[in-house]
Structure 1
């Protein structure tokens, strides 16, 4: 539904800038906000009575993995129903473009993060992928980061070595072409293969390309556990040597033995900002994370991607070596299996007959049912499911999450995985409603105005998305109508696929994507190219 004029009448406005809540009508014409207050009475428009509700700017998910989901029917409904109108995709080095030298490896490794890859894609390079986004009607708008892992895999596959001079020259050229086409920056996934083998020289060279274009470097650091401070220092050194703006991905501290270290992390970040390093972060409001089950295995076992891992698991001596490795700490790479124990890991993504009952189950319970060691159990499940498993891991302390959300430079990102399995992390359905219901209304951690700013104007400024994230005349008509006194997040770890309540309407580029809490068929979203001169 997209009438030429829509008048949101009788409600209040929180405009995204941090300014106080106020009574105002909002007039939308086409894909723009044409007036806020001062609207003539009797104007010819479709009038929606929003009394008792507040009009916000559409939410910007600063950390999304909807690279493929945007192109699937219904793939991002969980975002739209929360009020997300812009998805920042391409995070953690995972992506579907550029296409790897062996697409099979890319699909098997990143599929549990991005959702199942199609049998064939219509692009090879990153600019070609952006062309596909630009010519497809999307449910939300999209801002795209170039994934370092995919960029690397398109040049040298999953080779366990730094790029040589010729390969690095190609990587910088391909990155620059993607930025010229409108990519918002580069994302690193230094915990994941193949990005984990990149050396400092490679990362600095790529960061300098990003800095020259005025874009942002988003980074999943090498360790968020025991080596979190050294990993942060590596990222900050890259920033110093390149003068790049930095977005720290999913600010957190993981594993029980590191609980309470968030103030230490924030002290490092504050010192960096005082030094002049331009760094912000994104946070999701949960004490559990989620990723591909392949991340529970040592990276040396992923030299040939997930198929290579499966081949090792089929070799008894190598399987025994992997199982032994999983029961002890690793150098630099966080061993989540060892740190959390099998009781802290939930499983999802099962497709084999007989395994469907394990959907959402704890690894410890499955291992007990099968009567085997938990690491051995995971190896068997990976073999049976051909590596296409996702895990939810209870890694963080709630006080650390709250402290991270309190940092003034933290944006909100869902880090949601748009997998098609019955079970998933509830952040895919609840992140933005949870901020408003749990951390604004119930706990009072953030004011309503500050929470909205963190979800709208601040990410728009950070990623240089012009005319988004604010309710003002001339801005894009990405809008949410909701009742902050009533909004409820219903997505839980027991029942994650539940939409929030009391989000009355969502407009994407002036068209209703939801109305009266029901999704429409509108596909008014678009790829939003980022330009050097853009300001929010």
Structure 2
């Protein structure tokens, strides 16, 4: 924190953080809280136990003094759709109690993660090698298949949320021929039971990536237009043309501007831009970014509103957004007349030296 970090982030469905309980997370959070920081969290559960997970995140903020940011707020699994509305009502309640809690959202109904994240947390207590050894044990394999077949109060079953048709391969150096195919389609190609195929595939390529279609469009729109939300993409840096990644890596922000502001009016253009610029800058305590005014950093995007759009789609993702005319970073063009300039004027942004504490409501 003294070196300029903004705070603490967690991904509580991922190894090894999935094994960290509330008290452990809180102890680390207190160190960041002493400096006036931020707690950004991928919640411990985004399906049946979403509300419990939100309460845990807020408790970390309350007890540590950290401002809370719920990452890519959503609920997964058809049986849970609508629960995110209750979660946002709860977050509004905690704000009235003085906890600064906000969230972000990406404009898609599918997420993306590693194939290994589909498996029960108990299978990965001994790391990758221990996990792969488990897959060679017939008794363990049957237990894993049973766990994958039902929801659990102890871990978030991403495979159950999406189903075999909803889990699609996005990255693999071992079986590139499966990119863009669902687990169900791969199982049909192999003429095997889908559960057996999942175990085979993770043994063959532990690092494979998947896209999981498991969310409600109504829920996504509700979060997007909510006053507490900001726009994010939750995407990874991708090498153009490699794999079949989630289209959010190319088009999340233009999709919001073009589809949900310009075309549908879910947000005004001003609201959409604010959720991408001024609001995140406020959350981070950055007073010299996120606004267009004299004396602040000239980070600017100039776009043609009527040409603006995301050309990246599921199954055909490798297309740059359309309609971006100029992009400036710190006053220098990185895109000019629609073409990258090759300039790299970006810099590491560190937390401002002081934070005045409290719950500054910039909403």
TM-score with structure 2 length normalisation? 0.94
- 1:155 aligned residue: none
After TM superposition, give the deviation of residue 501 of structure 1 in Å. Answer: 0.9
Count of matched residue positions in the alignment of Structure 1 and Structure 2? 355
Q: Give the equivalent residue in structure 1 for 2:253.
A: 432
- 1:402 corresponds, among 221, 226, 232, to 221
Q: Indicate conservation of the 8 Å contact 2:173/2:208, yes or no.
A: no
For 2:185, the equivalent position in structure 1 comes to 365
TM-score by length of 1: 0.64
- Structure 1's unaligned 5+ residue stretches are 1-178
Asked if structure 2 preserves the Cα contact closer than 8 Å seen for 1:478 and 1:510, the reply is: yes
SS in 2 for 1:367: helix
Give secondary structure in 1 for the equivalent of 2:5: coil
1:528 matched to which residue of 2? 349
Q: Which whole-Å CA distance do the structure 1 matches of 2:107 and 2:170 have between them?
A: 21
Counterpart pick for 1:198 among 16, 20, 31: 20
Residue range with higher mean Cα deviation, 329-338 or 295-304:
329-338
CA distance, structure 2, for counterparts of residue 319 and residue 488 of structure 1:
45
Matched, 1:377 2:197: yes
For the residue of structure 1 that corresponds to 2:52, the secondary structure is: helix
Which range is displaced more, 407-416 or 316-325?
Answer: 316-325
Per-residue deviation, residues 251-303 of structure 1 (Å, max 9, x unmatched): 10110101122221111111111111100101000010001111100111111
Query: C-alpha displacement at 1:212, in angstroms?
Result: 1.3
Match of 1:273 in 2: 95
**2:8 equivalent to 1:189:** no
Q: 1:393 aligns with which of 187, 209, 212?
A: 212
CA contact (8 A) 1:223 1:332 kept: no
Greater CA drift, 509-518 or 399-408: 509-518
Distance of 2:176 and 2:30 partners within structure 1 = 47
Per-residue CA deviations over 1:372-423 (Å, capped at 9, x if unaligned) read 12121111111122x0111100111000000001111111110002245420
Report the CA distance between 1:532 and its aligned residue. 4.1
Task: Confirm or deny: 8 A CA contact 2:15 2:121 kept in the other structure.
Answer: yes
Determine which structure has more spread, i.e. the larger CA radius of gyration: 1
2:143 aligned with 1:324, yes or no?
A: no
1:307 to 118, 122, 129: 129
Contact 1:468 1:476 in 2 (8 A): yes
RMSD (CA atoms): 1.5
- Which residue does the alignment assign to 1:221? 43
State the alpha-carbon separation in 2 of the partners of residues 243 and 350 from structure 1.
41
Kept in 2: contact 1:222–1:332 (CA 8 A)? no
Are the equivalent residues in 1 in contact too, given 2:105–2:224 (CA < 8 A)? yes
1:152-301 paired onto structure 2 within 5 Å? 179-301=1-123
1:454 is the counterpart of 2:275: yes
Q: Secondary structure at the match of 1:180?
A: coil
Q: 1:497-520 deviations in whole A, cap 9, x for unaligned?
A: 111111001111122111111112
Unaligned stretches of 5+ residues in structure 2:
357-361
Distance 1:410 1:318 in 2: 42
Equivalent residue for 1:75? none
CA apart distance, 1:319:
2.3
Change over 3 Å in CA distance of 1:224–1:383 after alignment to 2: same
Task: Tell which deviates more after alignment, 313-322 or 257-266.
Answer: 313-322
Q: Supply the distance in 2 between the matched residues of 1:235 and 1:332 (Cα, whole angstroms).
A: 17
Residue aligning to 2:232:
413
The aligned residue for residue 359 of structure 2 is none
Specify the SS of the correspondent of 1:507: strand
SS in 2 for 1:348: strand
